[in-house]
Structure 1
Amino acid sequence: MTATDQDQGAADRANAEHLTHGHAPVLTGCPWHDVNEMLQSVGLRPTRQRMALGWLLFGKGDRHLTAEMLYEEATHAKVPVSLATVYNTLNQLTEAGLLRQVSVDGTKTYFDTNVSSHHHFYLEGNHELVDIPDPHLVLQKMPDVPEGYEISRIDMVVRLRKKR
């Protein structure tokens, strides 16, 4: 990555911070137009690589992907990107509020295209993250937080395995 790319990335993140307000734009039907609008709405430049990865990410509805999964999809789709570019793009889209990052075991990170407040099942045998369909699921009692901090969001991951 060149210094110019790094400067542009920093500018993109700064613009995204004040443009997203935590809401992703609604898709309208044309994947290329939608991705272009989505990127621009959060202050990210619609580069070829961002456009291609955005189309792969958002063109199939709500999904949970790791960087490696997206890289594999990009490779199959003949999109010329490195794994590092995939990671950088996923992190930029997350910082811009277009993706939600969900960590499992501290070793596996999924990126969720559904940025609304919701929780997940993690299917241990399949290494798959699935939305919990109950919108009324709530944490009974909130923990006390240290002085000077506030809860920004709660991510509940319920681990499931096949019965023995």
Structure 2
Amino acid sequence: MPNLPDEQHFPSRLTTICLRHCLLEEDPMPILEKLLHLKNVELWDQSFAGRRMLCSGGGFTKLHQLELSGLKELEEWIVEEGSMPVLHTLSISHCDNLKELPDGLRFITSLMELSCGYMGSKWEERLTDGGTDYFKVQHIPLLIFNWA
């Protein structure tokens, strides 16, 4: 499946979507962020096979939870200021090639929990107090790192 259908092909009041094993070639975020009632998005197990993902400013206005897991090809994730303004929980795991968390996370002041699993110990070093990327997550009350 090279890409998602346009937003008008989804139910207008869709609140949750979980994509798995789709091997989408095109970034799904430009379509998903236009689904105005989405509260939960789960991209798992090679649902997206691209290297770059973008969450635009003004997108995902009602999103509360985002899970990214097993996106093996993902290297760069960009979050623009104004994207996901009510996001509460972010979980990232098994995204082996993701180089860093997006700078734009620092603008999501609603974010209460960030969970990073199986991303390597360098992530914990960079994201904890004194780390090079701590400024991106210092406002988040709960940071969870899982390695086993």
Q: TM-score over 0.5 for the alignment? A: no
Higher RCO, 1 vs 2 (CA within 8 Å, ≥6 residues apart): 1
Q: Which has the higher helix share?
A: 1
TM-score (norm 2): 0.26
User: When you count strand as a share of all residues, which structure comes out higher?
Assistant: 2
For the pair shown, which has the larger CA radius of gyration, 1 or 2? 1
**What TM-score, normalized by structure 1, do the two folds share?**
0.24
